[in-house]
Amino acid sequence: MLIVQKYGGTSVGNPERIKNVAARVARFRQEGHQLVVVVSAMSGVTDSLIKLAKEIMPLPTEREMDVLLATGEQTTIALTAMALTAMGVPAVSMTGAQAGIVTDPVHTKAKIKNITPKKVHALLDAGNVVIVAGFQGETPDGLITTLGRGGSDLTAIALAAALKADICQIYTDVDGVYTTDPRIVPTAKKLDEISYDELLELASAGAKVMQSRSVEFAKKFKVIFEVRSSMNDNPGTIVKEETKSMEDVVIRGVALDKNQAKVTLVAVPDQPGVAARIFKALADATINVDMIVQNVSHGTQTRTTDISFTVDKPELLKARKVIEGLQATVGYREVLADEKIGKLSIVGVGMRSHSGVAAKMFETLARESVNIDMISTSEIKVSVVIDLAKAEQAMRAVHTAFLG
């Protein structure tokens, strides 16, 4: 079999761990498999390179930033290849460019255009383990690019697609994808499988598992992958297209996002075009809006309504400024901001075929005396905004109600 393995920053965080990675790779090779190994920069390295750059230049030029950041992964490929060679396993390192990864020219967040893994194939056929630098590629003109933070996952998934690999394994410092954050909910369980869409919804609901772009790419090219630990041999979580049996489970996971803030415009005139003006202004300021709730209008003469929306906490100040700038044209009574909120979400494809899922979530919250501020739903997700002070307690209760 042809196996693509990806090791994240923690898994290659020091020489000892790099040797452990090499030992694992060697074991798979002994079983007769061909291996392509994608590695991240050693943990903390990318962050410290960014910090270094900013000490030289507050807004570093993006072309040079990519040249700099690519060195993180270049260090790891060389060390990993050395570790394998030292164990007597033939191994060669390759930069993203050498592996044939071509991207668009958008420095620091380039998109992969195509991969021509001719040299990778040739080196594999000659009996080598091929170690490829994650997170990087080159433009058609030969400039070094990087794929955005966490981009090594994308390198692995894209290479697995291009090489038509039999398996893609994403090694990390957790055992797989959990029903929820085990640090907050001790009864969280590791999932055997999850669909691409569920993982994407959990990620957008605040669960930190994998770079969403990588999951989207995997979905598009139908790359089945496994998230598993580099610290043990436990089977991980298989991420794949939805199957019929996945719907038997009502809820796959619960996520809590503590990084949102709520803005409310009180007494906004209820007229055509008002919402358009508000959200156009936010979009023009490149502020990402997540949930939006508009109340039923009240008042008899000039009908008014309240509009609330959520944004990422770091963007709250900016959002507030934009809204304050609209006071004259839109005309509302006042603007309120609340940073002390949590967005609690339940996700699962089983929602399509089970009824009463939202009701059960709301009843559970009621029993905990948790007030619901905002609600939004998608086909496979229900999210509520609640008081931050009660958010973790609510998360535990909802997890127990659905997942035990």
Minimum CB separation of residue 148 from ligand ASP in Å reads 8
Give dist(CA 220, CA 81) in Å, integer: 31
Minimum CB separation of residue 35 from ligand ASP in Å reads 19
Identify which of residues 214 and 310 has a Cβ nearer to ligand ASP in the complex. 214
Minimum CB separation of residue 50 from Mg ion in Å reads 13
Contacting positions for ligand ASP (CB under 6 A) = 9, 40-41, 46, 72, 134-135, 149-152
Identify which of residues 8 and 13 has a Cβ nearer to Mg ion in the complex. 8
Identify which of residues 157 and 274 has a Cβ nearer to ligand ASP in the complex. 157
Identify which of residues 9 and 60 has a Cβ nearer to Mg ion in the complex. 9
- Which among ligand ASP, Mg ion, none contacts residue 264 (Cβ within 5 to 8 A by kind)? none
Minimum CB separation of residue 40 from Mg ion in Å reads 5
Q: Where are the beta strands (DSSP E) in 68-159?
A: 91-94, 101-103, 112-115, 129-133, 136-138, 144-146
Give dist(CA 369, CA 362) in Å, integer: 10
Identify which of residues 14 and 243 has a Cβ nearer to ligand ASP in the complex. 14
- Which among Mg ion, ligand ASP, none contacts residue 176 (Cβ within 5 to 8 A by kind)? none
Minimum CB separation of residue 108 from ligand ASP in Å reads 11
- Which among ligand ASP, Mg ion, none contacts residue 137 (Cβ within 5 to 8 A by kind)? none
In 3D space, the residue among 266, 38, 290, 255 whose CA is nearest the CA of residue 163 turns out to be: 38
How many C-alpha atoms does 254 have within 13 Å on its Cβ side? 29
Identify which of residues 40 and 169 has a Cβ nearer to ligand ASP in the complex. 40
Token digits for 19? Answer: 């040797």
- Ramachandran assignment for 80, one of left (phi > 0), alpha (psi -120 to 50 degrees), beta (any other): alpha
Identify which of residues 46 and 260 has a Cβ nearer to ligand ASP in the complex. 46
Helix (H, G, I), strand (E, B), or coil: what is residue 258? coil
CB 134 within 8 A of CB 210: no
- Which among ligand ASP, Mg ion, none contacts residue 318 (Cβ within 5 to 8 A by kind)? none
Identify which of residues 145 and 310 has a Cβ nearer to ligand ASP in the complex. 145
Minimum CB separation of residue 132 from ligand ASP in Å reads 12
Give dist(CA 7, CA 381) in Å, integer: 30
- Which among Mg ion, ligand ASP, none contacts residue 134 (Cβ within 5 to 8 A by kind)? ligand ASP
Helix (H, G, I), strand (E, B), or coil: what is residue 290? strand
Number of Cβ within a 10 Å radius of residue 204: 17
Minimum CB separation of residue 237 from Mg ion in Å reads 18
| Residues whose CB falls within 8 Å of the CB of residue 116, separated by 6 or more in sequence, listed in order | 100, 102, 162
- Which among ligand ASP, Mg ion, none contacts residue 149 (Cβ within 5 to 8 A by kind)? ligand ASP
- Which among ligand ASP, Mg ion, none contacts residue 100 (Cβ within 5 to 8 A by kind)? none
Give dist(CA 201, CA 131) in Å, integer: 32
H or E element at residue 399: helix 391-403
Identify which of residues 34 and 152 has a Cβ nearer to ligand ASP in the complex. 152
- Which among ligand ASP, Mg ion, none contacts residue 350 (Cβ within 5 to 8 A by kind)? none
Query: Alpha carbon of 218 to those of 77, 84, 134, 212: distances in Å?
Result: 23, 29, 16, 10
- Which among ligand ASP, Mg ion, none contacts residue 46 (Cβ within 5 to 8 A by kind)? ligand ASP
Minimum CB separation of residue 46 from Mg ion in Å reads 7
Q: Dihedrals φ, ψ of 125, to 5°?
A: -65, -25
- Which among ligand ASP, Mg ion, none contacts residue 151 (Cβ within 5 to 8 A by kind)? ligand ASP
How many C-alpha atoms does 276 have within 13 Å on its Cβ side? 3
Minimum CB separation of residue 11 from ligand ASP in Å reads 10
Minimum CB separation of residue 246 from ligand ASP in Å reads 28
Rg of the chain over CA atoms, in angstroms?
24
Contacting positions for Mg ion (CB under 5 A) = 8-9, 40
CB 386 within 8 A of CB 342: yes
Identify which of residues 101 and 246 has a Cβ nearer to ligand ASP in the complex. 101
